[in-house]
Amino acid sequence: MSYRVREIFSTLQGEGSRAGSLSVFVRFAGCNLWNGRPEDREKGKGACALWCDTDFVKGKEVSAEDVRLELDRLWGERLPSAKWCVLSGGEPLLQVDHALVDELQRHGWNVAIETNGTLDNRALDLMDHVCVSPKLGSTIERMRADELKVVLPGHVDFEKGWTDGRLVDLQESGEWGALYIQPQDPIYTDEVNASYLASKVRTGGRDLYERNLNRCLNFVANHPEWRLSLQVHKYARIP
């Protein structure tokens, strides 16, 4: 079995309950909600196509052992018990299987995954940490995870994002270890890996970002079981 991987890199986890911790990311190519091409944003199946800033197009075919060896190389001689990798995308569950997770865990890796929740892949039950981040316009199949993370407003047009009622319904219809709300980072729509927070000079998105942030703050103030998640890796200007 081979896997199409866009990149493998070491950085700090920037979001959710593990924010600030050293992790090695495996970014898989491909997504079931958008093809990743900026010119096709309007053709995406989920609202995320309109605001996703991640490059997950193309990629290289690698084996499970290839992935594990690269993880080991990037981790080096650091504390073995702290070894965390994050399977991301795109949508990693299009490719992740038991064989890959077993290869990583047998060699001491804690395995986390970030998924849009549209695929209830059986490999999820092997994970050490699961984050479901649902997108408007798609059907959620995985209603159980260590954390639920929702990006607000969830759409380019502020008025078409998640409502408080839909968020509460989502909360009550699943089994979530923790609940996170995160402000949407305005993108430059003709590029990938380009957004207000990620840019070296933050221009053109401040007002919209602050509006999204205030939306999150107000929601948490009225629903204290939820927590605010910020993309700390972007604030730190790291991958």
202 against 89, higher pLDDT:
89
How many CB atoms are closer than 10 A to CB 231?
A: 17
CATH of the domain at 163: 3.20.20.70
Query: What do you get for the CA distance between the two ends of the chain, in Å?
Result: 28
Going 53 to 59 to 65 to 66, the CA torsion angle's sign is negative
The answer to whether residues 14 and 129 touch, using CB atoms and an 8 Å cutoff, is no
- pLDDT > 70 in the chain, percent: 80
Pairing of strands 22-28, 60-63: unpaired
**pLDDT grade for 155, boundaries at 50, 70 and 90:** low
Whole-Å CA distances, 63 to 3, 5, 57, 98, 101: 6, 10, 18, 13, 12
Q: Mean pLDDT over residues 24-45, rounded?
A: 74
Statement: residue 41 has pLDDT above 70: no
**Per-residue pLDDT for 68 more than 80?**
yes
Q: What mean pLDDT is predicted for residues 220-235?
A: 94
- CA distances from residue 3 to 35, 93, 203 in whole angstroms, order as listed: 17, 11, 37
* Residue 140 pLDDT > 70: yes
If you average pLDDT over residues 226-234, what whole number do you get?
Answer: 93
Model pTM score: 0.87
Phi, psi of 69 (to 5 degrees): -65, -40
Residue 48 reports pLDDT greater than 90: no
- In this structure, of 13-22, 102-111, 191-200, 224-233, the range with the lowest mean pLDDT score is 191-200
Report, in angstroms and rounded to the nearest whole number, the Rg of the chain calculated over CA atoms. Answer: 17
Does the pLDDT value for residue 80 go beyond 90? yes
Which structural domain range is residue 47 located in?
Answer: 2-235
Cis, bond preceding 134 (omega within 30 deg of 0): no
Task: Give pLDDT, residue 237.
Answer: 82
Tokens of 42: 């309007």
Residue 30, SS3 per DSSP: coil
Q: How many domains does the chain have?
A: 1
- Residue closest to 61 by CA, chosen among 144, 4, 140: 4
Measured CA to CA in angstroms, residue 235 lies from 19, 146, 174 at distances of 12, 25, 31
Tell how far CA 128 is from the center of its chain: 16
Report pLDDT for 34.
64
DSSP three-state, residue 167: helix
Extract the tokens encoding 31: 């997504």
On average, the pLDDT of the chain sits at 87
* Strand ranges for 69-191 from DSSP E: 84-88, 110-115, 129-132, 144-145, 147-152, 175-176, 179-183
AA letter at 165: G
pLDDT at 39 over 80: no
**pLDDT recorded at residue 186:** 77
Report the alpha-carbon angle 115-173-110, nearest 5: 35
Q: Is the pLDDT of residue 129 over 70?
A: yes
Q: Span 149-169, mean pLDDT?
A: 82
Q: Which residues pair with 130 in a beta bridge?
A: 113
Q: Each residue of 173-188: pLDDT tens digit?
A: 999 999 999 998 876 5
Task: Give the pLDDT score at 47.
Answer: 62
